[in-house]
Chains A and B, each alone.
Chain A
Amino acid sequence: MPSVCFYFQVHQPLRLRHYTVFDQNDTYFDDYKNASICRKVANKCYLPANRLILDLIHRFDGRFKVAYSITGVLLEQLLTFSPEVMSTFDALAETGCVEFLAETYYHSLSFLYSRNEFVEQVNKHTETINNYFGQKPRIFRNTELIYNNELATLIESTGNFDAIITEGADHILGYRSPNFVYKPKDCNHLKLLLKNYALSDDIAFRFSNRDWTQWPLTADKFARWISDVNGNGNVVNLFLDYETFGEHQWKDTGIFDFMRHLPGTVLRHPDNNFKTPGEVVESYQPVGIVDVPHIISWADIERDLSAWVGNAMQSNAIHELYRLEKKIKQTANDKIISDWRKLQVSDHFYYMCTKYFSDGDVHKYFNPYNSPYDSYINFMNVLGHLRRRCSNTSEEQEEPLTQQHKATKRFLQAGSQINKTSDLQSISLGTPVNQD
């Protein structure tokens, strides 16, 4: 009786604008590009896919279920650029058939470089999800499914989570199957869900590949493969990028039709069902312990970190970034801290990847830069400016402000608030107005 467990990763990076060493302002991100890509992906993927999932949940009367992990940086972009997507996610949350997972708010690699920062970002994400969707995530997935024993121990120690999700990489499982619930090494109650990468990639990567012997992939065929797990597995974990629908696999490949027919064909077999990760964890006991002393991820053939920190530039950029942590946090300046955190988005480092020769195609497709070198130069220029801002702020704070200065500052802040929020009324009410 395999349960099908769908989890969709929903994320868009924050692209930097072209920033030279001569630039001297704190506008680092390309709002125009980010907005237009966000709207494009919303129209091609998020909106139609959300509608489809909502429809399927209604049609199968709650027997079809899915989970989402939406990054904080995407939520911020959706709120600004495509608020209608937010309302469809909200509608999905209302059904009770959708679970939201926790991850690092900034889709960062912080676990590898700063445990404090990592925990702060996970907490920030959990709170944000709770705010928007009224759910406190119980399942954790780390950026790019990066995982090792230490991560499991750390996540268990927070006491907030029941399970953790990672890649069902061959070299950690050996002869074992990803279709069971496992327990991380050195953990007491935390469980481990492993991605069935073969079946997941059939949809995510191979779906439209005409050279693939199984092309075309129909819902019937795929449901048969799932039913084949009967008797030798409890759960089939299908973890995909949500952008698979309509963006990586275009609409005319039939990906939406495939998804529309899949629940019906899976449920035709009476032993099959759909479960969210949370339900899977409740239903099944771990069958064994998985030991992952070395870091794994879901990327490329290597399933390692080489896509983000595989060359000298990547390693240099990321170390320089995290070296600033103390200085950044000392400024206590929200804008500076937020800019620093937005530079942690893993995609910035992915763009610097020089692995052109083996699986470079994927890397190239998602890359807004012409070359990894351009992306490194741009990133380092921005980082250089951010570093100077830290030093400037600390000098500023030492400067004693005169009363007049403070008043002007307060006035300017109020003014900028008026511009920012649409809440004009409350502010004008709060300001004493001489009516005589």
Chain B
Amino acid sequence: MRVFMLGWEFPPFISGGLGTACYGLTKAMDQLGQEVTFVLPKMVESTYSTHVKLLSPNSWTSSISFLFNEFKNVRFHAISSALQPYSTPDSYRRQIEETLRQKQKTLDANFIGAGQITGGDDYSRDMYTEVHRYAALAVELAKNEHFDIVHAHDWMTYPAGIAVAAISEKPLIVHIHSTEFDRSGEHINQMIYDIERQGMERANKVIAVSHFTRSTVINRYGISGENVEVVYNGVERNDNWPLAETGIKNDEKIVLFLGRITMQKGPEYFLQAAKKVLELMDDVKFVMVGSGDMMHRSIEMAAELGIGHKVLFTGFLRGEDVQKIYQMADLYVMPSVSEPFGIAPLEALNHDVPVIISKQSGVSEVLTHALKVDFWDINEIANKVIAVLKYPPLQETLANHGNFEVRKLRWKDAALKCIKIYQETLVAV
């Protein structure tokens, strides 16, 4: 059995949980001997380092095939496309315009071609067209591949998933890492909603990352419960950190927010709680790691609340910097308004940082050794932040038990469950 997986680029090249989940799941499948054809959208500008081996550029679909050294059973195909996870139609348009400007500059300066694969100019100006262009390219690619089942991750790949499944007459699995209701609250984008619903309706099986998300799929998209399975995410266990001492010895406690700074993640609740904490405690700094469309608003808000000097914005961090910030942190807070899963708290616990998570999250279904709050209850968030900072036994117990608990959340189990779903679906077809 081979899976045709429509996924996303792996970290550290990309932000957020979607890439992390694709990586964790695919790697675990690889180790279980599951054969995967992994297809992802990729801007041609990115360069590959030495850990990948280019196989063949395919000019027709403007895709390139390659192998990762660490994967034995997975073949990768990158389709030239400007799609990125968590894009919104607006951010997509801005990004395309920026890309074209850059390209123009390069051309003007050097008077040379844009590299071996051209295609940047082929990107559609709006995201919906690009999603469908991607689907058409994926179908072309699929024609030369042999596989038994199609597995698509989040809405931008659903049209591709539907098309590939239809052409190849293979069953389709869609994997819901987040829905339009998580990202936009009640002000949903109807076109995105429609694409999501089509994907779910067409799918032979829907995989939701939590019961929280499963109930959204059932209640908001009208999908029958028997077609929706829950597969929790896992976390990569990384025991040895080859890190030099950061040398930071600070008397101040550090409370960490790490994630995209968007409405979904509840940055304003973090700041309001910070304000309340600072009414009773002084030696605390609140660090917000990440970027997003609410970043500027958040900086303003910190200033308006009069706590600007106590809040640090680092922007988007990756790799070693993320590990460093975890090592410095005393507490991680995730006040998400609507969080389908939430891998970051697991990573925090992996680094022995205790976590406060919102009850409106999938991860709160799997963690017992975490403090849980309603995202809107800033009083309670502040109450718990103060308790963790004030009482070392609480911090210790949470970190120790929590660290032990995340050891049980393995990608291997997620992969096994997916494979079981493939097998059941193939039998049913």
Binding site for B on A (CB under 8 A): 20-22, 311-313, 315-316, 354, 356, 370-371, 373-374, 376-377, 380-381
Contacts and interface: CB of A to CB of B under 8 A. Distances in A.
A374 B397 contact: no
Contacts of B387: 21, 376-377, 380-381
Contacts of B369: 354, 373
Secondary structure type dominating chain A contacts: helix
Contact of B383 (A20, A315, A370): A20
Given A373-B371, A374-B371, A22 B379 contact: yes
Contact of A376 (B368, B379, B382, B394): B394
29 contacts: A20-B379, A20-B383, A21-B280, A21-B386, A22-B280, A22-B379, A22-B382, A312-B393, A313-B393, A316-B391, A316-B393, A354-B369, A354-B401, A356-B368, A371-B368, A371-B371, A371-B372, A373-B369, A373-B397, A374-B371, A376-B393, A377-B371, A377-B384, A377-B387, A377-B391, A377-B394, A380-B387, A381-B383, A381-B387
A313 B397 contact: yes
B398 interface: yes
Given A22-B276, A356-B368, A370-B372, A377 B397 contact: no
B396 interface: yes
Contacts of B383: 20-22, 377, 381
B201 interface: no
Contacts of A373: 369, 371, 394, 397-398
Interface residues of B, number: 21
A312 B396 contact: yes
B405 to A, nearest CB: 10
Nearest to A374: B371
Interface of B: 276, 280, 368-369, 371-372, 379-380, 382-384, 386-387, 390-391, 393-394, 396-398, 401
Contact of A313 (B280, B384, B386, B394): B394
Question: What are the 6 closest A-B residue pairs judged by CB atoms, nearest first?
Answer: A312-B393, A20-B383, A316-B393, A377-B387, A313-B393, A21-B386
Contacts of A22: 276, 280, 379, 382-383
Contacts of A21: 280, 382-383, 386-387
A351 to B, nearest CB: 14
A377 B356 CA distance: 13
Contacts of A381: 383, 387
A232 B383 CA distance: 59
Nearest to A372: B397
B332 to A, nearest CB: 15
Contacts of A312: 393, 396-397
Nearest to A20: B383
Nearest to A317: B393
